[in-house]
Structures are given as C-alpha cells and as structure tokens.
Amino acid sequence: MKKLLYKILLPVSLLATPSCESFLKEENVSGLTADSYYNTVEGIESLVNSLYTPMRFWYGKENGIAISELGTDIFTRGSGMESPPIALYNSDLSGANTALNFYWTRFYAALNACNAAVARIPQSPLADNLKPVREGEARFLRAFYLWHIVETWGGVHLSTTETIGVQTTANRTPVEAFYTQIFQDLEFASNNLPVTTNQYGRVTKPAAEAFKARMHLYRGQYAEAAALAKKVINDYGFSLVPTYEGLWNIANIKNPEAIFVVNFTADLILNREFDGLTSATADDILLRDGGNNSHMMFLMTYDQLPGMQRDIRYGRPFSRFMPTAYLLDLFDETKDSRFNATFETVWYSNRPGTYKVTTSTGAQKDVTFKAGDTAIYATKYVVPAAVKDAKPYTIIDRSRTYAPDGAPMVRDRYMSLKKFLDPLRLTISQQQGRRDHFVLRLAEMYLIAAEAELMQGRPNDGLPFINAVRRRAALPGKQAEMEITAEQLTVDFILDERARELAGEQQRWFDLKRTNKLVERVKAHNPDAATNIQAFHMLRPIPQAQLDVITNPSEFTQNDGYN
C-alpha cells in the first residue's frame, strides 16, 4: 500500500492541534466510517481543516526547502546537507530520491483528500451559507497541491475525484489541463471565500486572488496577473511592514503584509503531528514533528569556533544550506537594509575564556573573550591574512569560504541566513519552531505587478511597484538611491530583486523554471551544480516506487533524462 499512488482516505480527520482563535482546530476521532463521520458537521469541518496540514510538511521543512531553494543560483549545500543530488543534479538524482518520494506521496494524498472534501461538502449538513466557503477552502488547497505537483513533475497523474481503495493505473495529463483545473478552483475560491477570517490561517478571498495572480504569471497571462496583483494591493487594506527587518520579528508575524500563512504552534506536544493521509515516516522526525524547522537549516557551525557555544539567540546550526557567493553579491549593503536583516555577520561571545588559535602562518597565539566581545565576523569581501591574524576574533571572509570562481571551499563556515531564527524556542536543542511561514505576502504582489507590466511592454507602469519594494528595503535616507529606472527593469533584474526579497521562502527553483532561467543561472552562478545541470532537470524524477507498481507502465513512464 505504501507504494501506491493513492492511499485509502482515513475515515476521520487528521491531527490533534490546539483549538484557539489563532490556530485551526483539527481533531483526531476514530472508530467511525468515512461516510457516517463526514455526514456530520463535525466530520466535514474536520475534513476541511485537515486539508491545511500537508502544507506544514512542505513549508519550513528540510526537504521542502531543499527542493524549492537548493540547486539554484542562490543556495547550495552546506556540510550537513542530507540530499546532495538535489543540490548537484548528478546521476544520483533519480526516482529513488527520498525527498521527492516523500512529497509525491503527500501531495497526492492531499489532493485526494481535497477531492473528497469538494465532492462531499455540497451534500453535507453544513449550513447553506457555509458550504461555499468550505468548498472554496478545499478548492484553493487543491489548486495549491496541483500546482506543486505539476511544476515539480510536469504532466503526471491528474484526478479530481476521490479515490477510496487501491488505484493501480496512472494517467499522463497535459500541463495545460492541470492549470485549467487550478484556475477553475481558484475562480470558485475567489468568488466564495470571505475577505477576512477570525481564524488566523484560513484561506480568504484576497489569498485566493493573490495565488491566482501568481498562477497567471506562471502561465504568461500577464494582463490578468497584473490586474489581480493590483487588486490585492489596493482593495483589502494590506500594507508593507515599514522595515524589512521588522517583517521577520517573530513578535510581528501577524502583520498587515501577510496575505496567507501556514501557521505553526508553540505547543511542543500538539506540534508533534501525524498527517493522517499517509503512513508516518518513523525515521524522519523533522518531517513529522509539525514544527517550522527553517530556523536551523541555514546556519553555519558557529558553535565550533573560539568564544562561542550554541545558544537560543544564534540558533541550532544544522548547516544544511549555504548561500552562493552570487546571492551575497546581489546586495548593496551600503543602501539595502535587507543584507543585514537577512544575514548574520557578527557573533558576540557567549562563552568567555582564553583560547589558543592558529594564524595563517601556522603560529599559535592566545585570544581572550569577555562576554559580548566580537567572536566571529563574516564578510563577503576578501580580508588580507595579516589583518585576520591581527584580530582576536575569527574572520570568515570570502577567501575562506569561496574559491575565486565562487565554488565553496568549506561548507561549515559561511554567512548564515538569519531571517527565520526562532528566539522563542525553550531550549537550545529544540527543533520545533513556532514561526508562521509566509506563503503569500504583499511584497510578492508588488513584484508580480512589476514583472507582469514589464512583460506587456510597459516597464514604466511596472516601475512604481518594484520601487515600492526597494524603498521599503532602503536604509534610512537611502530611499532615492534604491530606486531604479525603467531602463533597468528587466526580467533578470526582477529575478535578482526576488532573490533579495524572497531568499529562502521556497519559491526560487520555481521562479527560475517559470522564466526558463534555471539552467542558465545555475551554470553562471552555482559552481556546485553548473557542470551537471541540463534542460531535463526542469522536471524532477517520478518516484520509481510509483512506476514499479502501476499496471500501465508503458503509458505512464519516467520523465525524460532519468533512468
């Protein structure tokens, strides 16, 4: 059963999570059949709520981040990376890849649950005025999972009806058919969802319109993308958080820029979730604990250097992902506040004492740190060896981390991405994070409007939108310097701007793919993957376990380029 395309839909809802105004209630009730339980108000509400859960297994999870950010122009593998083929596009990237198998199973299980909800809601005992709302949620989430399936694997299996039992055949459905269904679902969601919700984390009308704007951008429907992005900007009271740093303040996650979030909970018991749609993954706690783990994934091993030990402030350093030199160079930190808001550049000593260190000449010297002294300084520039030797603190400069061509020389000493840090964790070893993940935020709508206008040959119309994002990012007094001209507004500039604004937010691989820039940019800016990446890597390999069990293998074949 584990290897089949679909799992039998469990007859009850899926998770036990906290019930409060700011978090969706999801109950785990057993001992009932699907038909009888879903024919109750409690049952159908529980089913709809459960549809949100698979998003927590994508956002803020190691493999979800790897699939969406790694092997691009802006991120490569750190020393702790557990799935190098995704970063390298080498011959080991195959249908046996664990991360891709995991998400194939969960996305299809989520799709099947959405199909069940869409089919059952009209005949359910829900109040008549609530039925279209809940169906709108189910359709939005179905569109969301379909988008991830089709952009990851291409024209694979599409079904919009609930499967109960075992399905042994799979169809090859054109990409266009996937998007036809996505737009149908989002149209229904946009027309039936409320503008606001008192349950933080539920889908709303502006969220559906924002996601639809993104989908139009992916299909090259630029007039529609621009119109919807502007509508979300103008009609619903959203606003950019005044500073980019403030956007990532964990005390400010519920802010006027957030259009739709995946919410997590601080409760360590209730945060340990079972998705209920598939077999639990017993060997990977990070994928089933339900918390946001992104706070660990981008951190270098600072705790191994003199004067430092692991603490809550600087995070638990898993060293999974490191920035490319290209990402660091995209920022002009003399005027763009996003550089220092995104990256950790200074670590202050939290383990005072005297340490023996080795200089560049091989000589030994003693260095002493008091609490709060600079212990580590990271820079994207080259620092002369004599300067580094003269300082008591460790300097991690460009020449220590990257070769002249940008290839990583070490993978455990680099400038860490800090915007996902979770300083409210209770212990230094805690993996479960409470930070909500922004799925859709207003800055993206500005960037979509700018790109969509550019692609219609109207860069002057797109310019105010990208400049609004850049002015927000400016250091005090540098707003005018951050503005660009219409002549500077190109697809490549927009991709660079999206990197500066959205780094690590699980969109980069998809952005490069949709603009047909994946191969070009990886070859130019990611030496780790440059020699391996080919055009066929615009799709991921279909899990071999899927191909092994279907009864029509001649009709449903592996994606081109993969064994």
Domain boundaries in the chain?
34-280+437-549, 285-417
Residue 68: pLDDT above 50? yes
Q: pLDDT by residue (tens digit) across 183-218?
A: 999 999 999 999 999 999 999 999 999 999 999 999
CB burial readout 96-127, b (16+ within 10 A) else e: ebbbbbbbbbbbbbbbbbbbbbbebbeebebe
The string of DSSP letters for 109-122 reads HHHHHHHHHHHHGG
For residue 323, what are the β-bridge partners? 75
Q: How far is CA 411 from CA 81, 86, 110, 529, 532, in A?
A: 9, 16, 35, 15, 19
Tens of pLDDT along 115-171? 999 999 999 999 999 999 999 999 999 999 999 999 999 999 999 999 988 889 999
Residue 271 has a pLDDT of: 57
- CATH architecture, domain 34-280+437-549: Alpha Horseshoe (1.25)
Provide, rounded to the nearest whole percent, the portion of the chain with pLDDT above 90. 86
Across 58-68, average pLDDT: 96
CB–CB of 493/500 below 8 Å? Answer: no
- pLDDT, one tens digit per residue, over 127-141 is 999 999 999 999 999
For residues 60 and 349, give the distance between their C-alpha atoms in angstroms, rounded to a whole number. 28
What pLDDT does 167 receive? 86
Tell me the per-residue pLDDT of 442-467, one tens digit each, with 9 for 90 and over: 999 999 999 999 999 999 999 999 99
What does each C-alpha distance from 544 to 3, 109, 400, 558 come to in angstroms? 9, 17, 40, 8
